[in-house]
Each structure stands twice: as C-alpha cells, then as structure tokens.
C-alpha cells in the first residue's frame, strides 16, 4: 500500500509543479509557530459557542459522540429519524449539528431525549473547537476531505515582499483551507489577499480574525449566494460570466493603486480564474482541496482512462481496488448533479497552464496511508468524494468504521448503534486510538519548521521572489 501511495505523489509531480502544503489548519492545533492562530476562518452559520462548550465541559473525557454532516449535505426525513433514534439507542452522550433548515426533519418526540441532558442538538458549532475538546471521543462524519483533515491534527527572511491573491470557491470547505494557507504565506513575508464573493463578505466572513486582506467580487448572486440560485447549472454559469469580469475589474483596481500581483492561487474547480490571470500576465496556481486519490480518479475519468458508466471494479494507482459504489458519487452516479460532475472532471482542462499545483495534504498522509487522528471516526458519507474517503478511512487508514446502508440505500439505527459501540467500547476503537497518536505527530511534523509541507511553502515563496 505504501508504495502505491507514493506513486500518487510521484505521478502528480511528473505532470505538474506540485506543492504539498497541508494540512491547512490553524497553527495552534499543529506546530504553534503562528502565535494565537486558533481561528479557522469562515462559519457559514451562526453558533452559540457558550451553549455547546458548557455542555461539553460537564461530560466525562472521551464520552461524547459528535455528529455533523457538513454545511451542504441534506439527509432525508427517514434518514434523520434513523440517526436520531440510533443515537438514542446507543445510550451515549451526543452533540449533533442539525442546520436550521433541517430541524423540521427531527422526530417530534426526540425533544424528550434532549431534555434528559444525554444529547444536545445545535444549529452549528465551531468544529475544530469541538474536535479538540477532551470530552469528545468519536466523530460521526459525512467524510468530506476537509472535515477529515480537521481531525488529523486534533487527535526564510526576504527583501522583496511578493503579493498573492487566493481565490477559493465560495463554500466553507473550500474557503477555510485557503485562508489557512494564506496565513502560512503571511508568516513567510508574502502579502496575501483573499478574494471572496460579496455575499460571503457581507454575511459570513469574520473580518477581524485574520490579518489577511479581504476583497469581494460579484458572483451574480450578491444578496443570497449559491442558495438563491435556481440550480447548480444556473449558479456555475453566472459565477463564471459575472465572476470573471468582476475579478478582472478588481485586479485592475489593485494594480492602479500600486499593488503588484505576483500570483493568483485559485480553487481547482474555478478553472476560468487562470484565464483572467493570463490576461494580466500573472502566474496562476491551482489548489486542490480534495484528497490526491480522489483527484486521481477524476483525472482518469477526464482522460478517458476510466469509462463511464462504470461496470467492473476499477484500479487506480495509490488506491485499493474500488467497487463502483465506492467511487465518488459523480463517477458512479452523476445523474442527480450533472453540472457538478462536469466541474470536477473539467478541472484538469487547463491545469497545464498553471505554474503550480497545490494539494491540501502532507507527504506522510499520502505515502504512509494513515491519518493522525486524536479519536476515531464513524463514516456516514453522503455524496461527492465522501464515499471514497470513507473507504480509505476504514480499510486503508484504519481509523474508523463505515456505516452500512440497506437495500434501499438508508443507514438504519441498528447499524449506527453497532458502529458507535464498536468505536466507543470494543478493541477496534482502542487500536484506532493508538494509531491516532502516531499519525497526529506526523501531521504536526509536516507543517513544523523543516517539515515536508513547510519546505514546499518555502520553495513556492522562493519561486515568487525569483519571478
């Protein structure tokens, strides 16, 4: 397994000027070299931090199951009920994040469970804050790669100051990793400006929690963002048309004010950003927020090396053999989300025009095939790369267990109870905890001075200075 994972990095390095710079988490959870850097960045929703912190403070160490399915995924009514009663039947303390738009799916009499104090349901929380709390012993997750990386770390003087624009896709799991990368660049003496949408700028971004300068452009949905669009197709089309013009105007404005721009580091799915950069003679860098193995699958599909629809199991360098249903949802069932499937496959269309390619991981993770978690995971994937991440978490990284859906595609309460007990009570949970301590140190070492990710960031800064 180790040799195949090494091939992923080597394969990507042969094709692109790859920089492996993760994990992109606040320094205080890792190497502690950036003083007081504890804030991750964007929270899409309001959170009552005192409520859940006080509740966690009253619970014994490693006794709480934390449950969150991210900022986008939606569970059906039946699935919500199964999770609710599964948590109740598991007889453990639980903290469950249920967004306000999902609350009406909770069973009506589930409020009686909450009143006992055994569980707490909140509309949002600071995930790193929760994961770092001593009372949390297990994470039931949708297996988004950045949520997974968040768990990893909880379990050169220069005369010229380069200027970099960082441009994430306007979604929390994309914005926060680039904010953290920006903080690392700032610490190296690189002026860093975050580009986000007007809607995100006005409603969600904590302007006072980072020294990164923030500028806003229009995505065509200034009042309501992505949620106010008619469809993914509508949003993506308008974002490209309006966003490219707005980004171009912003660059002109910055340059007219005497700001030299040396590079634009853009989210890999915003492929039109490199075209804007080229108009101004600015170097571009593509930033992948997903795992290298998942990107490898998308690339093989893009190049026609994996044919769709899938039939037999597939083999991709760096990953074990994958059954059809274990591939990202856009690969085995792109029907419900054709616009997003097109985006993830086409992110390689003009990547050869990017001077750099960045990936939010670290060498030990991709080569040693393990996560440095402070506790174990229960994987309940919903869509995109989450399904493949879940397989890796259980079978390769050995730090979690996957829930099993029935013939209707639903995870039943009995299975969730079984998974929780396996992690919280059985020997497999103990083994995962031991693995966690070992790999946690590797994650910290990667971003510490002289670590693999730190070296790649230094190399990038050096290339900026040379021009």
pLDDT, tens digit (0-9, with 9 covering 90-100), for 19-33 = 666 555 554 445 555
Long-range CB pairs of 306-315, under 8 A, 24+ apart, other chains included: 306/331, 308/334
Position 373 scores a pLDDT of 32
Annotation marks residue 267 as catalytic: yes
Asked whether the predicted pLDDT for residue 350 surpasses 70, the reply is: yes
Strand partners, 460: none
How would residue 255 be classed by pLDDT, with cut points 50, 70 and 90? very high
The DSSP code sequence of 52-78 is HHHHHHTSPTT-EEEEE--SS----HH
Strand partners, 19: 358
Place of tokens 């975050």: 194
Q: Which of 123-127, 278-282, 299-303, 459-463 has the highest mean pLDDT?
A: 278-282
Residue of 174, 262, 283, 332 marked catalytic: 174
Report the C-alpha gap between 11 and 276 in whole angstroms.
Answer: 28
Asked whether the predicted pLDDT for residue 267 surpasses 90, the reply is: yes
Q: Where are the beta strands (DSSP E) in 208-352?
A: 213-217, 263-267, 283-288
How would residue 70 be classed by pLDDT, with cut points 50, 70 and 90? low
Supply the mean pLDDT for the chain.
76
Annotation marks residue 163 as catalytic: no
The reported pTM is 0.59
Domains of the chain: 2-42+157-362+450-466 (3.40.50.2000), 49-153+367-441 (3.40.50.2000)
Asked whether the predicted pLDDT for residue 165 surpasses 90, the reply is: yes
Compute φ and ψ for 408, nearest 5 degrees. Answer: -90, 0
Asked whether the predicted pLDDT for residue 383 surpasses 50, the reply is: no
Asked whether the predicted pLDDT for residue 457 surpasses 80, the reply is: yes
Position 275 scores a pLDDT of 97
Residue of 267, 385, 454, 456 marked catalytic: 267
**427 in Cβ contact with 362 (< 8 Å):** no
Provide mean pLDDT across the span 121-150.
Answer: 71
């Amino acid at each position: 397994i180790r040799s195949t994972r090494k091939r992923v990095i080597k394969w990507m390095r042969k094709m692109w000027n790859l920089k492996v710079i993760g994990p992109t988490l606040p320094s205080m959870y890792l190497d502690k070299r950036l003083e007081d850097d504890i804030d991750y960045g964007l929270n899409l929703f309001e959170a009552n931090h005192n409520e859940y912190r006080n509740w966690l403070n009253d619970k014994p160490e490693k006794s709480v199951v934390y449950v969150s399915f991210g900022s986008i995924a939606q569970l059906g009514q039946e699935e919500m009920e199964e999770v609710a009663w599964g948590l109740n039947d598991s007889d453990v303390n639980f903290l469950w994040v249920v967004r306000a738009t999902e609350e009406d799916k909770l069973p009506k009499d589930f409020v009686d469970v909450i009143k006992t104090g055994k569980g707490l349901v909140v509309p949002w929380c600071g995930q790193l804050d929760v994961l770092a709390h001593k009372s949390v012993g297990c994470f039931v997750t949708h297996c988004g790669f950045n949520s997974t990386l968040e768990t990893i770390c909880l379990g050169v003087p220069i005369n010229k100051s380069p200027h970099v624009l960082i441009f994430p896709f306007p979604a929390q799991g994309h914005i926060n990793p680039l904010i953290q990368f920006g903080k690392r660049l700032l610490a190296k003496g690189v002026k860093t400006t975050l580009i986000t949408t007007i809607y995100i700028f006005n409603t969600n971004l904590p302007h006072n929690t980072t020294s990164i300068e923030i500028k806003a452009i229009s995505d065509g949905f200034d009042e309501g963002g992505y949620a106010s669009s008619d469809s993914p197709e509508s949003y993506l089309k308008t974002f490209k048309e309006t966003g490219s013009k707005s980004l171009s105007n912003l660059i002109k404005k910055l340059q007219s004010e005497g700001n030299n721009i040396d590079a634009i580091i853009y989210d890999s799915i915003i492929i039109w950003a490199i075209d804007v950069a080229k108009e101004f003679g600015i170097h571009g860098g593509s930033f992948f927020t997903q795992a290298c193995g998942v990107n490898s699958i998308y690339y093989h599909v893009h190049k026609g090396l994996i044919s769709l629809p899938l039939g037999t199991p597939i083999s991709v360098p760096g990953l074990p053999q994958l059954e059809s249903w274990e591939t990202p949802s856009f690969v085995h069932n792109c029907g419900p989300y054709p616009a997003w499937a097109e985006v993830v496959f086409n992110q390689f269309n003009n990547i050869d025009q990017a001077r750099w390619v960045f990936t939010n991981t670290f060498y030990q993770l991709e080569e040693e095939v393990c996560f440095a978690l402070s506790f174990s995971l229960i994987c309940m994937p919903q869509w995109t790369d989450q399904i493949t991440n879940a397989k890796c978490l259980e079978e390769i990284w050995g730090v979690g267990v996957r829930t099993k859906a029935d013939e209707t595609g639903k995870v039943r309460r009995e299975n969730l109870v079984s998974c929780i007990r396996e992690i919280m009570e059985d020997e497999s949970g103990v083994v995962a905890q031991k693995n966690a301590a070992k790999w946690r140190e590797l994650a910290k070492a990667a971003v510490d001075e002289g670590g693999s990710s730190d070296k790649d960031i230094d190399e990038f800064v050096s290339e900026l200075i040379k021009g």
